[in-house]
Chains A and B, each alone.
Chain A
Amino acid sequence: MITGKTTLLHYLSFSRPVAAHQPWPRFVLDEAAWRGLVAELAVEDWDVLGLWADGNEIHCALRDEETGEIAVASHSCTDRRFASLSQVRPGVLRLERAVADLYGLQAAGNPDGRPWLDHGRWGVTHPLALARRPPPPAPYAYSFLPVEGEGLHQIPVGPVHAGIIEPGHFRFHCAGETVVRLEERLGWVHRGLEGALIGKPVAQAAKLVGRVSGDSTVAYAIAFARAVEAASGAEAPARAHWLRALMAELERIANHIFDFGAICNDAAFALMLGECSVLREEILRICESCFGHRLMMDAVVPGGVACDLTAEGAALLQDMLARLRPRFEELVELYDNSPSLLDRTVGTGVCTPALARQFGATGFVGRASGRAVDARRLPGYPPYDQMELPVPVRQDGDVNARIWIRIEEIRASLDLIGRILSQMPPGPLHTPIPTRGGEGMALVEGFRGEILVWVRLSQVGRIVRCHPRDPSWFQWPLLEAAIEGNIVADFPLCNKSFNCSYAGVDL
């Protein structure tokens, strides 16, 4: 009986656990238990953290909001179909469409049967399915959602946009200046990343996962490394954890500062972008001096980190902290005292807390709309478990709120870097990954939000299946909701305030 008081692990404990899944358990659900899970989700506060396929099996990562329990529920599809979760967790809808495109597993009950990643151009259907099928003979067609009413017009934008930005197609239906509906069509930069990962040795796979979304390369590399370490039973040395956190916070600040400038620029306040892009450039140069790469790509590896922080590097970072703080605070003050700018950001592009919760949004999108979720705190991972970490939250959910969350996070990250520099223990940087099979999962807080990486290793230490899930999966749909009722001219502003990754979800 469904009472709304079951814990996640209690529900799953009636199904068969899988032995080699770390650090959280995985259970194999039969048809009835999977359907029961859909029913439980309707009443329980369980977040769906991700949904991906693997052969004929479907996996779903879940978190019980109340108890903090995390687990993976798996279900072997009969007849290549499984009961859809999209009716109870709408954020999963596009993940299920992607599963259908890549694996040919159909989500029964998903109201949207259209393809998502498959644009009819690969020459194969279901490229990752156990048995590939030839392309369908019928010409590929994609119909956008209809909008009916008097005086409505359509504005199709993209995939090639006006700026230096990733490709995506936006279909606006407008009544005069006001957006009645925005429909996103993504998938343009699908590179076949999950397919390319299959069979790769761990070291090569790490490079690929570091390029799921280039702006989050450190966070992805940490997530992949942690998943591989969990699967193989390796433990990275203490100093490596601290260096990873140092790089992750530098990445967060560099991205947030640029976003802060770029959002203001989209409200025609160009000076902020100029100032912020200089700060970003200074940070990237210090990253290059310390870790050998401006974006710190491939600096985090499974088992630890690839390079150490020298005494000169630490001095550069201390110097950066001292110079960056006052200059950043100046810009915050300027933002807060520019009514013409606030006029554009306050009350624009509102995402309600109810929607953010329904879609399981994390990162600044979730935190600007009432969700105090941060993977560094829950489930937590070293070295953050040894530090106090403020998680800023607002309820207003507009462009202004998303700017303020970023401002607060920049301040917090600057503090964290200072503490990391003073508390980081000496010691080795790397531990070898033992060659053995297993399954592992990791949750890591990137600058956009919670990144999930799941991995299964073969006995010879190669990738059998790896799924990286970007936080943007649960943020893109909210942009469609946030722009409704706003004017078309505010779309760039709203879009930049969300700053969702295209490459991260197109894979």
Chain B
Amino acid sequence: MSLLKILARDLFSRRRTETPPPVDGETLQQLAARLGETARLSLGRSLSIREVDAGSCNGCELEIHALNNPVYQLERYGLRFVASPRHADVLLVTGPVALNMAEALKRTYDATPAPKWVVAAGDCACNGGLFAGSYACLGGADRILPVDIAIPGCPPSPRALLSGLLTLLEHVAVR
């Protein structure tokens, strides 16, 4: 089948993109209490995300990748992955923070301009997961960075990841 045929079929067939998951009200309140109104900025309901693997088994990366597929289509919410921390508002951290990656993670954070938020994705980034106590890991992103939202799961599903990111967006954007 030719490229044009596939494009035409995609254009006129049922939309694959699904409705978004609800934002987590409780986490939203916690964010407001912790960060305060002053942290809110007019980012035009748009956040740029830099993903950092700090020791993940790559399971989390697979599900984060899925956010970009046509079913979840992250960009329609104004959320997008960027190539450099210097373009980012959010660091999305996975893994139990392997000591070999700790400095690279800290440097990535330092290179991200303020205001910035940190999301810990997956059980490993939340509390070290199965690798808590290892000689080679710090045991969670909050051991080295201020974590604003934690999304548990091994790995968290794309819907769970999306819900967490939308909660952050809801908090950050001026309504």
Contact = CB atoms under 8 A, between A and B. Distances in A.
Interface of A: 117, 119, 121-124, 127, 159-160, 162-167, 187-193, 195-196, 207-208, 211-215, 217, 258, 271, 274-275, 277-278, 280-281, 284, 294-295, 297, 330, 333-334, 337-338, 501-503, 506
A121 B99 contact: yes
Contact of B136 (A191, A334, A503): A191
Given A165-B53, A501-B58, A159 B104 contact: yes
Interface in B39-57: 51-57
B95 interface: yes
B135 A121 contact: no
Interface in B6-51: 6-7, 16, 51
Contacts of B131: 191-193, 196
Contacts of B83: 162-163
The 9 closest A-B pairs by CB, nearest first: A214-B59, A192-B136, A162-B83, A277-B69, A192-B134, A214-B57, A211-B57, A121-B99, A119-B100
Contact of B104 (A123, A188, A501): A188
A191 B96 contact: yes
Interface string B127-153: 000110111110000000000000000
With most chain B CB atoms within 10 A of its CB, the pick from A163, A281, A297 is A281
Interface residues of B, number: 50
A195 B98 CA distance: 14
A117 to B, nearest CB: 8
B69 A280 contact: yes
Interface in B78-129: 81, 83-85, 95-96, 98-104, 108
Nearest to A159: B104
A123 B157 CA distance: 35
B68 interface: yes
Contacts of B164: none
B71 A213 contact: no
Given A121-B102, A284-B66, 18 more contacts: A122-B99, A122-B135, A159-B101, A163-B81, A190-B100, A191-B131, A192-B136, A193-B134, A195-B135, A213-B58, A271-B7, A278-B70, A280-B66, A281-B71, A333-B1, A501-B58, A502-B58, A503-B58
A207 B68 CA distance: 28
B61 interface: yes
B136 A195 contact: yes
A190 B130 contact: no
A337 B1 CA distance: 9
B13 to A, nearest CB: 11
B134 A215 contact: no
B96 to A, nearest CB: 6
30 contacts: A121-B102, A127-B135, A127-B136, A160-B52, A162-B83, A162-B84, A163-B83, A164-B81, A189-B95, A189-B101, A190-B98, A191-B96, A191-B131, A191-B136, A192-B131, A193-B131, A193-B134, A195-B135, A208-B130, A211-B130, A213-B57, A215-B62, A217-B59, A271-B3, A274-B70, A277-B69, A278-B70, A284-B66, A338-B3, A503-B58
